[in-house]
């Protein structure tokens, strides 16, 4: 194992030339710590190795075939935009990503209404980034209640008009 460690320390690509039975966890870990992109040459990397890789270069998540929730979480913790490479965008991982950077909402495949409201509350200009198929009057009103400026950023003119009317009536009733 010591010879393998010496080899990967000087050239992480050496893992391509080392017999599979000699590629221990520690040899592979040393290789990815030196050069994370060698993940592409590791067959079935462990979760520990994958976390090490995405903790260094979150975009390499796209190279990991068997993504676990912990690996995906490590990637979005380091760079919220890594959500683009998450195969299974769970509610928890999406929320974590949007909490760190609300602008990533536009990269979430199926954002929940709560997630959209959270992002819009932080940055109302994101309303124009939300796919209109994910918007309806009730959701727009909820966002407007959290941040009235969001109405100005609704792309769909009819929805913006309806939301403005409803929101004005809602505010009038409250006053």
Which tens digit of pLDDT belongs to each residue from 85-131? 999 999 999 999 999 999 999 999 999 999 999 999 899 999 988 88
Q: What is the pLDDT of residue 97?
A: 96
Q: What is the pLDDT of residue 175?
A: 63
User: How confident is the model over 156-162, as a mean pLDDT?
Assistant: 93
Residues 54-84 have pLDDT tens digits of 999 999 999 999 999 999 999 999 999 999 9
The yes-or-no verdict on residue 6 having pLDDT over 80 is: yes
Q: How far is CA 129 from the centre of its chain?
A: 16
Q: What is the pLDDT of residue 135?
A: 87
| CA trace torsion 101, 103, 108, 114 (10° rounding) | 80
Tally of CB atoms within 10 A around 127: 25
Interatomic CA distance for residues 61 and 141, integer angstroms: 36
Q: What is the pLDDT of residue 130?
A: 86
């Amino acid at each position: 194992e010591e010879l393998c460690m010496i080899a990967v320390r000087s050239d992480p690509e050496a893992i391509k030339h080392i017999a599979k039975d000699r590629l221990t966890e520690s040899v592979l870990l040393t290789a990815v710590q030196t050069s994370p992109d060698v993940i592409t040459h590791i067959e079935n990397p462990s979760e520990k190795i994958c976390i090490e890789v995405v903790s260094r270069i979150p975009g390499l998540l796209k190279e990991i075939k068997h993504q676990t929730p912990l690996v995906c979480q490590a990637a979005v913790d380091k760079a919220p935009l890594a959500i683009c490479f998450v195969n299974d965008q769970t509610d928890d991982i999406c929320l974590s990503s949007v909490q760190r950077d609300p602008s990533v909402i536009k990269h979430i495949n199926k954002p929940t209404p709560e997630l959209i409201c959270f992002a819009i509350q932080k940055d109302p200009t994101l309303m124009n980034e939300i796919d209109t198929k994910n918007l309806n009057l009730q959701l727009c009103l909820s966002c407007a209640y959290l941040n009235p400026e969001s109405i100005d950023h609704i792309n769909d003119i009819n929805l913006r008009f309806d939301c403005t009317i409803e929101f004005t009536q809602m505010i009038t009733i409250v006053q």
